[in-house]
Amino acid sequence: MTDHAATGRVTTAGDGGAPARPATPPSGIRRIRIPQKLRNLEFWLLIVACFINASAIVLVQLGALGRIDTQLVLLGAGLSVLVFGLHIAMRFVARDADPFLLPIATVLNGLGIAMIYRIDIAEGDAGWESAAVRQIAWSAIAIICAIATIFVIRNHRVLFRYTYLAGLVAIILLILPLVPGLGQSRGGAQVWIGFGDIATFQPGEIAKIALAVFFAGYLVRNRDSLSMVGKKFLGMQFPRARDLGPLLIVWALSMSVIVFQRDLGTALLYFGLFLVMLYVATSRLSWVVLGLSLFLAGAIIASQTLDYVGNRFANWLTPFSDERFNADPGGSYQLVQGLFGLANGGLIGTGWGQGRPDLTPVPQSDYIIASLGEELGLAGIFAILALYLLFVARGFRIGFAGQDDFGKLLGVGLAFVVALQVFIVVGGVTRVIPLTGLTTPFLAAGGSSLVANWIIVALLLRLSDTVRNHPRLVIDG
């Protein structure tokens, strides 16, 4: 590399960049790349992250068993090896990717495994019966999926070409659980597919990624007609009636998820994702106002006509009434137990393995936040929320710094879907909004959710790599 300091410092894209860029930089241009500074930062953060995960498992064993069992610690160590595998893969194919996403996701995943393991101990599950072992196996699959994503998708603009294919895939994934013989119902919600008892999967989790890609591509192509025209009313410019089509279609889709799949949370997630991406694409508040009123109207009608939605609302408003607490299907027993658990945790929690999170129904999936709140206390819950906050903020940052509109929208959409999911779950458990069954990203037991969220991590990493990977000129004044 020759020195052109006299003519200024200009960098070109890295090796893996778009083919359109000239292979040999014009004169006056040279590469400066601080060698792998971001990756080294990530390396140190990952070491801390893996140490946190290992100590969480050890503390669970000390607290609940009173001794250290090396088997699960070894399994957890295997997972750390995979995470470092992803890190090494990024050193080759995504050198300039964001250094914080991977450590944050690792810690969240590890905390989830430790809590699931703790509940296994309380319920006496071991071996393949144990949800923690299955969670570790799924985490391994999910991280391998993330590595594959980073290798296969070298430039996120490829996804732009498959906008409508992504839309189709999302619809198919949503319909799959309703296919007789393939779909399975659990806890009332028809959102699972599987053959018999083995290998069940929740295709809706993957659908949210496909939907984010579809919405981003669709909105980039059509945003002019959605944002430029319309009448002004109450200080907001409202869209024309004929441009309402997409909003109504997504609304109908969410409503059918509520009616046919009996899944309030998923419907809220998809609709919220669409609204936010629409708002980011058009910067029109009127879309949000219209969308929210549509959704509220739908939710109120559903709460009057559909039993399970009505129960959720009643539990949310009066969980402590005897009638709601003792109602057998759809009572507020779980919600109240979760609240008692959180209260028992107090400020610093009972400590790993010292509480009774197993008293709440499904403490390892829907209610993992209440379980963690009991054992880690308010300090621990806030730490977890801070991790989510940082994760989502990095995602928005990647979207903000994006060079192309599709990448911007996709980054914001993927980050927001994680944020909204956390809000729906934590809000439901803490009685801010009616409780809806959704998985807590990275924490909750469940393979499909892990795979989907690790693919989101991989896509955000890929986006952030392309963001930094462009010509630049440095002027030191």
Partner 1 sequence: MSELTLVVLQLGFLILLWVFIFAIVYALRSDLFGQRVRKLQPETATAAPAAASAFPSSPVPAAAPTAPVSTPTASGGAGELASSSNATRLVITSGAKSGVEFPLGRDEITIGRSSDSAIIIRDDYTSTHHARLMLWNDRWMIQDLDSTNGTFLNGSRVTVPTPIPLGATVKVGATTFELRR
Binding mask 76-105 for partner 1 (x = CB under 8 A): -----------------------xx--xx-
SS3 62: helix
CA 75/CA 77 separation, integer angstroms: 5
CA 65/CA 68 separation, integer angstroms: 8
Tell whether residue 346 is a contact of partner 1 (CB under 8 A).
Answer: no
User: Minimal CA–CA distance to 10: which of 469, 470, 473?
Assistant: 473
SS3 232: strand
- Min dist CB 62 to partner 1, Å, is 6
Kindly tell me the burial class for residue 235, based on how many C-beta atoms sit within 10 Å of its own C-beta (0-12, 13-18, 19 or more). Answer: exposed
Are the CB atoms for 324 and 334 separated by under 8 Å? no
Interface with partner 1 (CB under 8 A), residue from 138, 271, 295, 352? 352
Tell whether residue 413 is a contact of partner 1 (CB under 8 A).
Answer: no
CA 446/CA 265 separation, integer angstroms: 16
Cβ nearer to partner 1, comparing 21 with 231: 21
Helix pair 163-175, 203-227: axis angle to 10 deg? 140
Cβ nearer to partner 1, comparing 294 with 376: 376
Site residues (CB under 8 A) for partner 1, limited to 415-474: 467-468, 470-474
Tell whether residue 376 is a contact of partner 1 (CB under 8 A).
Answer: yes
Interface with partner 1 (CB under 8 A), residue from 217, 349, 437, 447? 349
Cβ nearer to partner 1, comparing 415 with 452: 415
Q: What are phi and psi of 82, to 5 degrees?
A: -65, -40
Helices in 176-244 by DSSP H: which ranges? 203-227
- Min dist CB 154 to partner 1, Å, is 17
Q: What is the SS3 string spanning 329-380?
A: CCCCHHHHHHHHHHHHHCCCCCCCCCCCHHHCCCCCCCCHHHHHHHHHHHHH
Interface with partner 1 (CB under 8 A), residue from 126, 285, 348, 432? 348
Site residues (CB under 8 A) for partner 1, limited to 16-75: 20-22, 26, 28-29, 41, 45, 48-49, 51-52, 55-56, 59, 62-63, 66
Number of residues binding to partner 1, judged by CB under 8 A: 54
Interface with partner 1 (CB under 8 A), residue from 401, 423, 427, 430? 401
Binding site for partner 1 (CB under 8 A): 7-8, 10, 20-22, 26, 28-29, 41, 45, 48-49, 51-52, 55-56, 59, 62-63, 66, 99-100, 103-104, 107, 348-349, 351-352, 354, 376-377, 379-380, 383, 386-387, 390, 394, 397, 401, 403-404, 467-468, 470-477
